[in-house]
Amino acid sequence: MQVALEPFYEAYASGLSVPVAEFLSPIAPAHNPGRLYDFYRASNDDKLEGDVRYALKYNKSTRMTNRESGAWVDILSGYWRAVKEIIKADEAANQGRLGERQYVAVYDAWKDLTSTFIKHMSSGLLPTWAIFTLYFTANHLRKIAIRADEQLSKSKSAAPTTGYSDDIVSTGPQNQKLEEAARVFNRIFALCLGDRNPDMADSRKWGVYCIANLQFKTYFKLKAISLSKNVVRSIEAQSDLPAFGLYPRAHRVTYKYYLGVLSFLQEDYKKAESSLQEAWETCWSPSQQNKSLILTYLIPCRLITQHQVPTAALLAEAPRLERYFGPLVSCIKRGDLTGFDKALADGEPEFVRRRIFLTLERSRDIALRNLLRKVYLAGGFEDLKEGQSEKDRIRKSRVPLAHFAAALRMGGQVVEDDEVECLLANQIYKGLMKGYISREHAMVVLNKKGAFPNTGI
């Protein structure tokens, strides 16, 4: 066991959370693929705790107190038991007989490890930096729980059924293990948020945002998004947290992203845009996946709040999004309503999955505005009066309703005259077009100083 724990000694001596978390990983490192097997073979169930205790006691590089050493004995023993179940599951998978029993056993063992970690962290027996090691351990629990639920779901779907079954609402728990894991994450969050250590350098409050982000990921996976609001409220109620800007960039970007998505789903687009814009500006440039996730919601927000279509340069930042948003944006710019409807329908599965379909549907108003603007531009300019020069020339502000109706019908839209009038009235009401409708003269009278806001006219 002494040799098997050498990587742990080196990681602990660094005083950093990540090296210790890398040792306490369910996945062997690429440079040492046999590490989990070596660690497992270093002891057995009967001698485990004695072997770990002896190894820690006679290792001089770690310099732990007896109490802290006792805590790590429990954690390392829990890790050994989890590794034992992981190896069993790997062997079952290699033999083609992996079922729910093997992976649920992995989940249970890893949950025990995480709970042991929480117990000793709350007792103050571990160094403060270990809260981030606990975060990585909990994040592994989330992934293992998802895998365990998948195995349980496969087993249930393969099992023969008798009697009647409800084909609308499932009778079995679909995310049983992930829901259990969410309760574990709540304990860690409370542990961080409730720390009363006056010395902020040794406070567990530095783990608040990374644990909150872990909860967000879990709640979104469980489709229990409303629970995320409780996390936000708990954080906003705290008056003694360190300044947000002092937290690691990764924690801030992820938190602002989820805060923006939550506001987006509540249709508070102004707040959503503010949070997502902050996440975008803070995000590390090479993080293509993160930038793509942020833009997925930031682009629809700007369409609603600023009636602004994304530039080609912005879409180039996320090639995957360009595939879905590109045709939509092109149709909006051209004022092609029929093309817009087709692009929206083509991307519907992805848009619905991302929960942005209804918001993008509203951007049809911008496509309509651009079509109406073309009609306005096609009307030309008023004749110059005596004494006027070219700089005094202004566009014709009176446009017959029939011209707008013709443009819509030529674009493939089947509309009655009353419907055209209704569409124009909505454009004026929403501030996309400035003017008024003269029903008596079947005419639209547009503002001479700016008929279409946000278009430079």
pLDDT, one tens digit per residue, over 220-247 is 999 888 899 999 999 999 888 999 999 9
Q: Output the six-digit token pair for 450.
A: 């700016």
Confidence label for 156 from pLDDT (cuts 50, 70 and 90): low
Q: Is residue 141 classed as helix, strand or coil in its secondary structure?
A: helix
Place of tokens 């990587």: 7
* Residues 117, 106: Cα–Cα separation, whole Å: 17
pLDDT in tens, 16-72: 999 999 999 999 888 888 889 999 998 888 888 898 888 888 777 777 888 988 999
Q: CA 78: distance to chain centroid?
A: 31
- pLDDT of 125 higher than 80: yes
Confidence label for 286 from pLDDT (cuts 50, 70 and 90): confident
User: Of the given ranges (47-61, 137-151, 361-375, 424-438), which has the lowest mean pLDDT?
Assistant: 47-61
Average pLDDT for residues 190-206, to the nearest whole number?
88
Closest CA to 74 of 40, 133, 120: 120
pTM of structure: 0.85
Confidence label for 110 from pLDDT (cuts 50, 70 and 90): very high
- pLDDT of 418 higher than 60: yes
Confidence label for 173 from pLDDT (cuts 50, 70 and 90): low
Do residues 415 and 370 lie in contact, with contact meaning Cβ atoms separated by under 8 Å? no
- Predicted local distance difference test score (pLDDT) of residue 209: 95
Q: Output the six-digit token pair for 410.
A: 């030529």
- pLDDT of 167 higher than 50: no
Average pLDDT for residues 163-178, to the nearest whole number?
53
Place of tokens 């789903």: 265
Task: Kindly write down the DSSP assignment for every residue of 165-215, as one continuous string.
Answer: --SSS-SS-SSHHHHHHHHHHHHHHHHHHT---S-GGG-GGGGHHHHHHHH
Average pLDDT for residues 413-426, to the nearest whole number?
91
* Residues 191, 131: Cα–Cα separation, whole Å: 9
Place of tokens 């443009």: 407
- Report the mean per-residue pLDDT for the chain: 87
Do residues 104 and 152 lie in contact, with contact meaning Cβ atoms separated by under 8 Å? yes
Closest CA to 369 of 312, 324, 306, 313: 306
Residue 274 CB-half CA count within 13 A: 4
Bridge-based pairing state of the strands 435-438 and 443-446: antiparallel
Q: Output the six-digit token pair for 436.
A: 């008024």
Confidence label for 161 from pLDDT (cuts 50, 70 and 90): very low
Q: Output the six-digit token pair for 260.
A: 């923006």
The percent of residues in the chain predicted with pLDDT above 70, rounded, is 95
**120 torsion bin: left (phi>0), alpha (psi -120 to 50), beta (else):** alpha
* Residues 105, 270: Cα–Cα separation, whole Å: 46
If one looks up domain 372-381+394-446 in CATH, what number appears? 1.10.10.10
Average pLDDT for residues 323-347, to the nearest whole number?
91
Q: Would you tell me how many other CB atoms lie within 10 Å of the CB of residue 112? A: 14
- Burial bucket for residue 9 (CB in 10 Å: 0-12, 13-18, 19+): middle
- pLDDT of 381 higher than 90: no
List 446's β-bridge partners, or say none: 435
- pLDDT of 397 higher than 50: yes
pLDDT in tens, 259-283: 999 999 999 999 999 999 999 999 9
- Predicted local distance difference test score (pLDDT) of residue 361: 92
User: Of the given ranges (99-113, 154-168, 311-325, 415-429), which has the lowest mean pLDDT?
Assistant: 154-168
Q: Output the six-digit token pair for 44.
A: 């057995």
Residues 6+ apart with CB under 8 A from 360: 300, 303, 328, 344, 351
User: Of the given ranges (18-27, 107-116, 317-326), which has the lowest mean pLDDT?
Assistant: 317-326
Do residues 376 and 388 lie in contact, with contact meaning Cβ atoms separated by under 8 Å? no
Confidence label for 202 from pLDDT (cuts 50, 70 and 90): confident
Question: For the stretch 248-263, what's the b/e string if a residue is b when 16 or more beta carbons lie within 10 angstroms of its beta carbon?
Answer: eebbbbbbbbbbbbbb
Element (H, E) at 219: helix 208-221
**Phi, psi angles (nearest 5°) of residue 389:** -115, 180
- Predicted local distance difference test score (pLDDT) of residue 455: 56
